[in-house]
Chains A and B, each alone.
Chain A
Amino acid sequence: MEDLYREIIVDRYKNPQHKGSLDPSDITFEDDNPLCGDHIRIDLRIDDEGKVTEAAFDGHGCAISQASADILVESIQGKNLEELKSLSKEDIIEMLGVELGPVRLKCALLSLKVLKAGVYGIDKASDDLVE
């Protein structure tokens, strides 16, 4: 328990560093976790070389979903779109540094799902994106 709610997760949840919106943005996508009502929107600004210059998230939900969004958004600054496409479930688990059961994993992966759906430019975020 102490592990799951390590200081970094609770701190990121209560004091997110990258929460807000970018207007205008080059890529915006949002989605919900229907199980619990977690909601995440991610805005990206992309430069001519296809690199992320700015990224922000907004939303509401549990500590795991919101902290992982904050950490994810921080980690993608300066990355190009191809690098974003290759992000995986394992990357998120590593960034969070905690073990998650199947239900909480969905919370943790919501932001990655939103990010990848936005980068791929598809209509609907699918769990396949983060398998």
Chain B
Amino acid sequence: MNNEEFDQVHIRADFPILNREIKPGVPLIYLDSAATSQKPTQVLQTMDVFNKNSYANIHRGIHTLAEEATLMYELARSKVGEFIGSPSSKQVIFTRNTTESINLVVQSWGRTNLSSGDVVILTEMEHHSNLVPWQMLAQEKGIRLEFIPVMENGLLDLDVYKDLIKLKPKAVGFTHMSNVLGTINPAKEIIQIAHSAGAITIVDAAQSVPHLPVNVSDLDADFLAFSGHKMCGPSGIGILYGKMDLLQSMPPFLGGGDMIKRVELTSFTPNELPFKFEAGTPAITEVIGLGAAIDYLNSIGMENIAEHEQEIVSYALERLVEVPGVQIYGPEATKKGAVISFSMSSAHPHDISQILDNEGIAIRAGHHCAMPLHEKLKLPASARASFYLYNTKEEVDHLAEALYSVLDIFGI
């Protein structure tokens, strides 16, 4: 390991689930972090201690527990804001997940600002979460969706994007890092081009924020969405970052408690940011767990994590291409995150996954919520191995060896 600051042994010891055996003598090799990551003891303990000592509803009661819970919840919000370089923690809105964050933008900003004939540009590599919400609004409002194509090499065709931008889109939505190809898109450039045409931008950062240093101010992103559960935090908590003026001008998304300043029988006055967009009791313990996950990631350093993953993915690409019949999708190692989607000529991804499971290896098989991209690749499904800070080169070796077991059963 060249990355000297990266203490793999101690990192792995932080994740109790990595001690699990899938069956006697067969340890878990978890290569599905793009779907959801595992949680370190630091996160689990923080949530446990909070539940046992301080749990109460937030922003309401005037009692010790309510005040402790509110303080801890809002401290987690500040941590999230600092982590992504948000000018203010008021611009950090808690949702359930990335999907809900994007739906919030589409339903609140989109419904208010888009009308028939308006153009929204997306990409062919979007996860369904940054595709279907727009399709729903397009059906309702008659807006026009255009797509930046994915080229053979797994990168977006920015020349086509520069042509599409002449359509004067109102919004450009794109994934920062593809959950299938691993492609890290040039977010800053895409955003600059969008802004030059007066479009706002929505960045699906579900795969990037957990794995790379991401700074919303540097990117100049208008909206950026991600999930806690892919970054060592718990499920049930998502984040939407938005620019202050946009968030202020937008109507509420969901109505209910906490999002109001004042309610009369036939009207309401929305609360200020960020509470305007946080109706009802949120995932309190999970937000506090997310705060602990951010502390954890910061203690290791996002630069170090990115560097480690770059080493792992480069090594994994080397090992996997050696296996006969394996085809890998997506760009070269330096242009991608730690996600490798592949197929084998003789075995279906489902069968690959089943055989790997027998050796304790967890990968994903299917279309990974990106059916249009699989259509483009002319694949009904693919197998995907994804890596995180706790994965090792030895695990990559096991993966490569296990693919030979697939060949033993299905042939080449």
Contacts and interface: CB of A to CB of B under 8 A. Distances in A.
Interface residues of A, number: 17
B351 A1 contact: no
B251 interface: no
Interface residues of B, number: 19
A104 B380 CA distance: 17
Interface string B141-156: 0000000000000000
A50 interface: no
A98 B239 CA distance: 44
A36 B365 contact: yes
Interface string B328-355: 0000000000000000001111110011
B401 to A, nearest CB: 15
A61 interface: yes
Given A36-B381, A63-B347, A5 B355 contact: yes
Contact of B351 (A35, A39, A60, A64): A64
Contact of B380 (A1, A61, A63, A64): A61
A98 to B, nearest CB: 11
B92 to A, nearest CB: 34
Contacts, number: 48
A36 B369 CA distance: 10
A4 interface: yes
Interface in A1-21: 1, 4-5, 10, 14
A121 interface: no
Contacts of A5: 351, 355, 409-410
B341 to A, nearest CB: 13
Interface of A: 1, 4-5, 10, 14, 35-39, 60-64, 104, 107
24 contacts: A1-B358, A5-B355, A5-B409, A10-B409, A14-B346, A14-B410, A14-B411, A36-B366, A36-B380, A36-B381, A37-B367, A37-B381, A38-B350, A38-B380, A39-B380, A61-B348, A61-B380, A62-B348, A62-B349, A63-B348, A63-B351, A63-B410, A64-B350, A107-B350
